[in-house]
Amino acid sequence: MESSIFESSKNVFLDIVNAGDYVQLDRVSTIYQSLKDSVNKPLKMILLYGKPGTGKSMFLKKLYHDLSNTKRVHLYQTPILDDSEFFKKLAHDLLDVKYNGELNFTQFMKVIEEHDVDEIPIILLDEAQLYSGSLMEKIRLLSDTRKMKFVIILHKTEKEDLIAKEHFQTRIWETIELENASSTELKTYIQKKLMKANCFDAANMFGNKSVNLIHKLTNGNYRDTNKLLYTLFDIYLQYLENDRSKININQVSNKIIEMSAIQTGLIDA
């Protein structure tokens, strides 16, 4: 019975982006509502950025899930780095037109200008830092036509070249930044994720002290927390199979937290 609980708890923290796994936190929910409100404004471009592991892809997936029944919305999770392939994908998704040969930017702009739109489609671009500067400039020009709206997800880096470009700053009329969780938010995040999966006993294992240690090790980063807890429950499963007497199933052990951190590379062994 215990092994099934820990197996279920372990799977809760798989590194998979699923809109159904969204966890309601007050600050995060406020930011998400701002993003939804921005989509309804007459904005040409919206930028959502933050460090890796702050939940940007989850926001985008949830936004797609929430809007897809009422709006024309297209999610590009994997960047299309070739210009012609990118424009052919847009032509297919927005206009239901297929191109077999090359489709350059000038040709695509002519096609767009020739079509009237009853409803402005929303294009969600994940991992936009992987697009070339020239393609991002073309995306900016496409947004100027007001025939489509872009929500751009970008990693926050030290250079932040893309954000700093003057032509982008004047056209992205809304910027939203995601940050790591506080210790209190991290506790709510962990417990709510477990309770959503009916792992109530596992959720009760996390007190303030254990969460404070997890926060210290992960700096409140959601991705690092997921990796740490996936490993932690895997270690608990190994103890159940080999030496049940060495673990306390009522409270998370700092020792096992630290073992998990070593195994995931958060602590140098």
What CATH number should be reported for the domain holding residue 76? 3.40.50.300
147/220 same-domain check: no
Q: 29 - beta bridge partners?
A: none
**160 and 30 housed in the same domain:** yes
Answer whether 114's CB lies under 8 Å from 96's CB. no
Cα 242 from chain centre: 37
Q: Look at residues 151, 178, 205 and tell me which one is the last residue of a structural domain.
A: 178
HSE value, Cβ hemisphere, 13 Å, CA-based, for 114: 8
Q: What is d(CA 29, CA 117) in angstroms, rounded to the nearest whole number?
A: 32
Residue whose C-alpha is closest to residue 266's, from 221, 234, 236: 221
| Domain contains 269 | no
The tokens 């939203």 sit on which residue? Answer: 176
Residue 86 lies in a domain: yes
Looking at the fold, whether 160 and 56 belong to one and the same domain comes out as: yes
User: Is the same domain home to 215 and 257?
Assistant: yes
Query: 213 and 161, same structural domain?
Result: no
Split the chain (269 residues) into runs of 10 and give each run's mean pLDDT: 79 75 75 86 83 87 90 93 95 88 93 83 92 89 89 75 55 80 94 92 94 96 95 91 76 93 88
Torsion angle in degrees (nearest 10) through CA of 237, 239, 245, 247: -70
Number of independent structural domains in the chain: 2
The interaxial angle of helices 26-40 and 56-67, nearest 10 deg, is: 50
Is residue 188 included in any domain, yes or no? yes
112 and 229, same domain (yes or no)? no
CA-to-CA distance for 45 and 65, rounded, in angstroms?
A: 19
Domain that holds residue 204: 2-15+181-263
* Residue that terminates a domain, selected from 121, 152, 178: 178
Q: Residue 20: what pLDDT?
A: 62
| CA 238 to centroid of chain Cα atoms | 31
Last-in-domain residue among 119, 143, 178: 178
98 and 187 fall within a common domain: no
User: Are 187 and 86 in the same domain?
Assistant: no
Task: Check residue 240 and give its pLDDT.
Answer: 83
232-252 in b/e form (b: 16+ CB < 10 A) is bbbbbbebbeeeeeebebeeb
The answer to whether residues 255 and 125 belong to one domain is: no
